[in-house]
Each structure stands twice: as C-alpha cells, then as structure tokens.
Copies of this chain bind each other. A is one copy, B any other.
C-alpha cells in the first residue's frame, strides 16, 4: 500500500489533522499483525509483546463465523452454547434431546463426534496489498478492476494453499485499502465434551437477549482430535484463578463479523431505508411462522428452535442497529465527520482529483442497489427458497458448474481453496424434518409470489398454483437427504446434474440464471464500486491518521481491549458483574416460568452452590456479532470469561463506538467451574481445565 502519493498531499496533512478527533476510547477491533501497542501502553500502561500476541492468536479458535479458545493442552475448546448449538442439535433426536438435557462426556470415549464441524486456528498473516491492487491496469473500470483483483486473490489463495497445506484466505480490509493473506490450520475431528441445558445457557430467552444484567451459562466445550488422538495444544489459555474485578484491563480475541464504522452516510442510509426495514419485516414473518409451528407440540418446538434462535437473535440485533441509524444525533455526527473530510479533500486540487468523487460514486451505487435489492435477496440470497434442501441443491448445481471453469473464473466460494470445507459440509449428515422444510418453503414461495409475482421465473415456478402445493411437491419429491445421492451428483459433475430428475435440483437450475444475473449486477455495480471508492476514502483517512483507525470487522481474528466496568442506565448504577444468587432471584421473581425456568440440576443443587460466585460480567471491549465465544483474558493472558453478548446499548456501536454505557457481556470463568463441579459432576473436566490432571 502506498500511504502517501505526493508532496503536495503531505502539505495538507496539517489541515486535515485538526478535522478528526484522534481515537482515544477503548475503541477498535484491531488486526493481530497491526496491534495498537502505543495506544494500550499510553492508556493502560501495558506493553503488548510479540510473544503475548502470538500466544493469544494461537490459543484462539475460529468456529465458522464465531469464536472460541483452547483451554487445555489436550485440545479442549471452549465457546458459547449458542455457537455450539448447531452441532448439539445435530446430535439430538426426539428421544435424546441434548438441548434439553445438556451433555457431559465423563470419559474421552464418551465424547460425541460432530459431523461436518470444522475449526480453524490462525497461523499467520501476510500483507499482499501490493500484489492484489497491482492487478488493476490503467484505464480499467471499477468492475474490470474488481475482476482483475478477484483473479489475483484466487491465485494467491491457491498458491498459498499448495505451498503450505493451510487454508488460505485473502481478507479485504478498509474496503479494499489493504489486502492480507490469512493462513489457518483446519481441524475436522471435533467432539462434544460438555453442554449445559438450553434453559441454563439461554436463561431469560429472547426477552433478555442483548440485555444486561444477565445470568446465562452460555458455554459449551469441545475437543479437537487429530489422527484419532486429542490434539496437543501447547498454546492454550490458563484459567484466571482470581476472576476479575472492576477496573481490570481485559482483552478479547475473536472474529467479529462486520461493522460499518467507515461507511459513508449514503451507505448508512441504504441500510436504514432499504436493507434493515426489509430484514426486520422478513425476520418477523419467519419468527411468527416458527412460533406457530412450535405450538403444534414439543417435537415441533424442538425442530423449530433450530431456526427460531437465529431468527430472534438477528431480529433483535438488527432492531438495535437500526435504532442507531434512526438516532438523528448519530447520523448527524457521521454526516459532520464526512463533510469535514470531504471539505478538506475539496480544498486541495490533487486530493480532489484523486478522492473527490468517491462519496458520490458510493451514493450512486446505493441507489442502484436499492433498485434490485429485493430481487437479489429473494433469488441470489435465496430468501424465496427457505429450505435447507434448496441450499443443498444449489450448492451441488453450482459446484458442478464452477468446477468446470478455471479456478480464477469461479464464484469465490467455489475456488479450489474453499472446496474441501464446502464439500465436507455438503456430505455431513444433519437431521431434516420434511414437514418443517415444506412449511418454510411454502411460506417463502408465498412471499416470493407476493413480492415478485410478475417475474418470469416466479411465473414459471408457481403460475396459478398454490405455493404450498408446489412446496409439498418439491420437498416430497427430492431425495437430497440421501448423502450418497449428493456424493454421486457431485462426483458426476455437470453431466450428472443435468441428468438429475430431482425436483430440488431442477428448481436450483431453474432459478440459477436469474440469481447469477443479479449477483453479477451486485458485484459489478455495487460491490466493485464500494471496494474501489471505499478504498479511496480509506486512503484519504490513512493520509490523516496512518492506520490508527482499525478496519471494519471482516469475520477474521481481531484483538479488542477494555476495562471491566459497570455503567449507569436511567440514573441507576448497573453492576459490573452478576452472581448465582442473582440467577435464583431472577427466576423466582418470574415465577420460575419460561424463559426464566431453571433446569432440574440447578434447582436441586442450589444448596451446595456458592451463590456469591459471579456468573456474568461486563467490560468496555469493542465487540459485535461473530465475537460470540471469544475468550476474554487479563494482562497475564489468563482466561477470565467467554464473551456471549452485548448489552442493548452496544448495538448501535456497529456504526459509532460508544464507551459510556455500551458493554460486552461475558460468562464469568468462575461460574463455569462452580457449575461443572457442583451441578454437572464434571470434576475430571475441571481438573483438566485447571491443570490438575
């Protein structure tokens, strides 16, 4: 990356520096290869050493889009219950519902293999900005440049994977201002060791989600195996014997999904006016559908829970994000900062020429996107085909199509570097209820017809037919539950796909051209513009502050820091931690009724528990969705708890960090130990964690 372009640009630095208030808060999800050493030294008097950072990095574990950490030298990985939930549900049946009963493997022999689960550990990071941005030739349009970059990225990932045997992903930072290559070790033999009851993990349910004070044991523990043996993990987090106290400096290491702090006003307005309103209405519709299905009986409720949890979680999160965007003060602050930057650029001819039009181009791209957002969502993002069968069918169809092309011309998720994980997922068993899938598909087809009924593909698919009838025909006709069939179709490639008579494969083929057309449009007219001009804005900011503003979150490993600290809400002090005593009080106050019902073990063992044990605590560390399961450590890199939520005030920090009352919420390390020993009888597990084995 070129930080500066010319002397004349330097000359305006003085001018610009005054415009943006330097970062002083505990803000930031920092890159592990560009940690905020000086800031932490200055603000908290703590020296981040390379050894400390490397140890945390290698102790951190990526769970798909979420986080976790090693907590023993023998491959134990701790994360949230809601992060492990998919695997736990996969291992559950009507008769043995581990969501309900919880699970503890008393011996390694009892640990349960989780099909399809894959955990990654980040090994190293390399700056490949020059190679990627160098792919752009003079005179290329934004979309041609994006294509050239895409090919360059594909080549870097492929070469990296071939050379190192590691998973390689090039990560786009600062909207394209930087490109870093992340190399991961991947583990595919993962087994369930411990999970509490869902009631305990998600105490307070949806009403308490994204709130604090809380009393959740949102924890699950897995073990990684390699060659049939527990993985040896020299880098793991030792348990913090003394817990945390108010004012302690803590660090959070995890994979925050996405933030929008560097978005322009036009981009924020798009979210506020187009994207979020649609998403919220959509999630509400699905929430109602799940509730309705749940009412049919306990088994239906168990099945629906799989989707319901995610729906309600997303709905609440987006509602919170939207509250920020609907806050005039927040939007005005954003607009003012943007105007100041644009004004500074405008005053210098060189800067104006280089960066001047970036904001307008981004604004124009938002307008374009708004125009086809709904079609894009219903087709390419498959909102109109809400069943796991469609996803499976489409993956099979596209896998065959993309594999027939050279690697660098494929859709990115089908590049060679991504295929092993993708195929593992495709061929792993997971329970499917045809009744439930029919219900979901019927509802989304009905929605598709309501929203896009005049679209040719919708008319072909539905015509004058009842969407429920079409859904039933599709689900009852498909054989894609059969993993052997999936394998056969995949091995047979395009020929097998084209010859398939499976109705779900045919559906995927029917809508694929339309979907791909929308994707192309999105990539060329929105994404490419956002990358090209977003990168320009980022460069303008680099000129000002170097890289002292960390990039927006990208589902990759970041380090944030903060202080254990309560806050004041409605003039009332909210304490920095809650205790087991508080848990019992809260339950009692709610009449022990769902979602405040305690599982039997906690009812029985109340007498033997130390009720003063802290269960949840809060800190100012910056976090967002994807940080779930992140270990939170103290100066000595000891495990003090696992992040599982943010309070409701933290949601608008998606766009603007705020330190006064926004908090990350953790399960306290001590409650985990207390419960494992006294409620779950898991002394051997505690001994392993505490290093007493």
- Chain A residues at the B interface, C-beta cutoff of 8 Å: 404-406, 409, 456-457, 460-461, 463-464, 494-495, 497-500, 503, 506, 509-510, 513-514, 516-517, 520-521, 524
Contact = CB atoms under 8 A, between A and B. Distances in A.
Contact of A404 (B409, B456, B495, B500): B409
A460 B524 contact: no
Contacts of A461: 460
A498 B516 contact: yes
Contacts of A520: 495, 498-499
21 contacts: A404-B404, A404-B405, A405-B405, A406-B406, A456-B503, A460-B460, A460-B461, A463-B463, A464-B464, A495-B520, A495-B524, A497-B513, A498-B513, A498-B514, A498-B516, A498-B517, A498-B520, A499-B517, A499-B521, A500-B517, A510-B510
A313 to B, nearest CB: 34
Contact of A506 (B456, B464, B495, B500): B456
Pick the most buried of A456, A503, A513, A524: most chain B CB atoms within 10 A of its CB.
Answer: A513
Contacts of A494: 516
Nearest to A492: B520
A464 B520 CA distance: 33
A510 B406 contact: no
Q: Nearest 7 A-B pairs (CB), nearest first?
A: A498-B517, A499-B517, A460-B460, A463-B463, A509-B513, A498-B516, A495-B520
Nearest to A465: B463
A456 B463 CA distance: 13
A499 B523 CA distance: 12
A463 B456 CA distance: 13
Nearest to A503: B456
Pick the most buried of A497, A506, A517: most chain B CB atoms within 10 A of its CB.
Answer: A517
Contacts of A405: 404-405
A495 B516 CA distance: 8
A499 B380 CA distance: 13
Given A500-B517, A506-B513, 6 more contacts: A404-B404, A404-B405, A406-B406, A464-B464, A497-B513, A498-B514
B510 A460 contact: yes
Contacts of A406: 406
A461 B457 CA distance: 10
Contacts of A513: 497-498, 506, 509
A592 to B, nearest CB: 54
Nearest to A505: B513
A564 B464 CA distance: 67
A515 to B, nearest CB: 8
Nearest to A509: B513
Pick the most buried of A463, A495, A524: most chain B CB atoms within 10 A of its CB.
Answer: A495
Contacts of A495: 517, 520, 524
Nearest to A397: B513
A520 B500 CA distance: 11
A494 B514 CA distance: 12
Contacts of A524: 495
A497 B521 CA distance: 12
A15 to B, nearest CB: 43
Contacts of A516: 494, 498
A78 to B, nearest CB: 45
Contacts of A456: 503, 506
A654 to B, nearest CB: 32
A376 to B, nearest CB: 12
Nearest to A501: B456
Contacts of A521: 499
A509 B498 CA distance: 12
Contacts of A463: 463-464
A347 B266 CA distance: 85
A294 B460 CA distance: 34
A172 to B, nearest CB: 21
A336 to B, nearest CB: 39
A456 B514 CA distance: 18
